[in-house]
Amino acid sequence: MSVRFCTPMKLFVLAPTLALALLPGVMYAQTLSLQQATELALSADPRIKEREALADVAQGLIDEAQGHAGWKLDANVFVGVSPALEGGPFKDGAFSCGNGTPCEFRDDAYKLSDGLSPMIGFEAKLIKPLYTFGKIERYSEAAQYNKQVKEGDIQLARGEVWLQVRRAYYGYLTARDTRYLLEDVHAQVNRALEIARRGVEEGQMRVADQYALESGLALVNHYLAKARAVENVARDGLKTLIGRPLNASVEVEQAHITPLPMPGGALAELAERALKQRPEMGQVQAGMAGLRAYADARRAEQRPDIYAGLVTLGAYSPGRETLKNSYIYDPFNFVAATPVVGIRWQWQEGVQNARISQAEAELRAVTEKQNFARQGIPFQVAEAYHYMVGMHESVDQLGQGAAAARRWMLGNFLDFEAGLIEGAKVIDALKAYAGMQADYLSTLNDYNMQVSVLQHAIGEYP
């Protein structure tokens, strides 16, 4: 393997580029297509990340519900005091009786004749459910459907961002093309104004023509300033959506705004696709299934839990004698442990019936929401479709009108240069062209957005 070194001439040529690359804060212009801008926005938008976090919370609820099927440890360790105890179990602390002495047990259990002793106590239960009559299974199922609902929220957020990127992207293209239009008009008016000024100086044109063109130029400058402001706002909005700082240099790949093709298919077909593809429909179905499982789990709360496990408890007081007699129990000094199988039943009829009623009412509410979605979604599709068709026709008509108005404007400029018409006629044609072309660009933007709104209403977005 050979290693090549740059010649001094190459280093001289590359030095400025390397220096710029090493300078902090140097930003190069980023040219984005609509697809690239969309992908950047979908990966950077905080609202999507928020919904993803809420979906993780829903996953946590699934894990929690399923975790109830595992082992459960309930432990308690405490420190207290107990009466101290010295000697044996018989009177006067004797360990035995006999030899003529009566076997009389001591009776000082509630006296502090031997003082106090520190005590350490503990209780521990290690329990595993064996059968819960469907509580764990139904709660787990409800939690899983809840996660599907939250994942639908992620899709909805992505759809909103997808639509906002198009609004910013097409808005920027429209604002930029409007600026191009006004700059073109500005150049035409400037040219006519120079002719008028020379004509006035030479006594061949009226001063009124000069004033008419100067007023027209001021009006063009006014709208040009507004167009630049709108363009900057649209560009900054796009930067914000894709997660770029406002001082970054971002350009769009598309040279001019152009009309989008209309989505194929009849209105009825588009509405049917929407009912199948819209995230809301999946959310409603998951919500209904989840609430059914939740209602079943609430009903299962009326039944007991069968469990198995290990129970241990005890206490230790160093100031008391330890008695290991099976018949004598000292609550301050003992250890006990046993495996258990049991039935636990927590019954509150009024509370449990109320919870069942709540779950059933929530299920009815979601059912009505599904009915509303089946009615509302086709209307949303129809509304977007009809507006799109109307705007498509408007774009065609305004495009023809704008082309004719431009020819009118250019013809009037030529006639003005030839001295055939007054300057006011030039301004009239200029206003007609600028207004018609601006309406065309605005309607073209609205049409493209309406196509996007229809796609959004159908559910056709990433």
Query: What does the pLDDT average to over 20-35?
Result: 60
Burial (Cβ within 10 Å: 0-12, 13-18, ≥19) of residue 256? exposed
Amino acid letter, 226: K
Q: What is the pLDDT of residue 8?
A: 38
Instruction: Indicate if 360 and 394 belong to the same structural domain.
Output: yes
Q: What is the pLDDT of residue 273?
A: 92
Q: What is the pLDDT of residue 29?
A: 62
Instruction: Indicate if 166 and 260 belong to the same structural domain.
Output: yes
Between 19 and 114, residue with greater pLDDT = 114
Instruction: Indicate if 287 and 248 belong to the same structural domain.
Output: yes
Domain termination residue (choose one: 317, 344, 371): 344
Instruction: Indicate if 244 and 336 belong to the same structural domain.
Output: no
Contact 136, 65 (CB under 8 A): yes
Cα 66 to Cα 140: distance, rounded to the nearest angstrom: 6
pLDDT higher than 60, residue 17: no
Long-range contacts of 367-373 (CB under 8 A, 24+ apart): 367/288, 369/284, 369/287, 370/281, 370/284, 370/285, 370/288, 373/278, 373/280, 373/281, 373/284
Instruction: Indicate if 333 and 250 belong to the same structural domain.
Output: no
Between 366 and 219, residue with greater pLDDT = 219
Question: What is each CA distance from 377 to 107, 233, 270, 369, in whole angstroms?
Answer: 84, 33, 11, 12
Instruction: Indicate if 262 and 405 belong to the same structural domain.
Output: yes
Strands (E), 38-164: 72-83, 116-131
Domain termination residue (choose one: 344, 375, 400): 344
What φ, ψ does residue 311 adopt, rounded to 5°? -120, 130
Is 320 part of any domain?
A: yes
Instruction: Indicate if 281 and 418 belong to the same structural domain.
Output: yes
Is 6 part of any domain?
A: no
Q: What is the pLDDT of residue 120?
A: 94
Q: What is the pLDDT of residue 396?
A: 94
Range of the domain at 193: 31-67+133-304+351-458
Strands (E), 270-333: 305-316
Band (410; pLDDT cuts 50, 70, 90): confident
**How much is the CA Rg of the chain, to the nearest whole Å?**
42
Instruction: Indicate if 104 and 218 belong to the same structural domain.
Output: no
Rounded to the nearest 5 degrees, what angle is found at the Cα of 240, between the Cα atoms of 237 and 243? 150
What's the pLDDT tens digit per position in 128-158? Answer: 999 999 989 998 998 898 898 889 889 999 9
Number of domains in the chain: 2
Is 19 part of any domain?
A: no
Is 17 part of any domain?
A: no
* CATH code at position 41: 1.20.1600.10
Question: What is each CA distance from 391 to 263, 378, 396, 398, in whole angstroms?
Answer: 14, 20, 9, 10
Instruction: Indicate if 292 and 434 belong to the same structural domain.
Output: yes
pTM over 0.85: no
pLDDT higher than 50, residue 27: no
Instruction: Indicate if 423 and 438 belong to the same structural domain.
Output: yes
Instruction: Indicate if 201 and 245 belong to the same structural domain.
Output: yes
What's the pLDDT tens digit per position in 378-393? Answer: 999 999 999 999 999 9
Instruction: Indicate if 145 and 274 belong to the same structural domain.
Output: yes
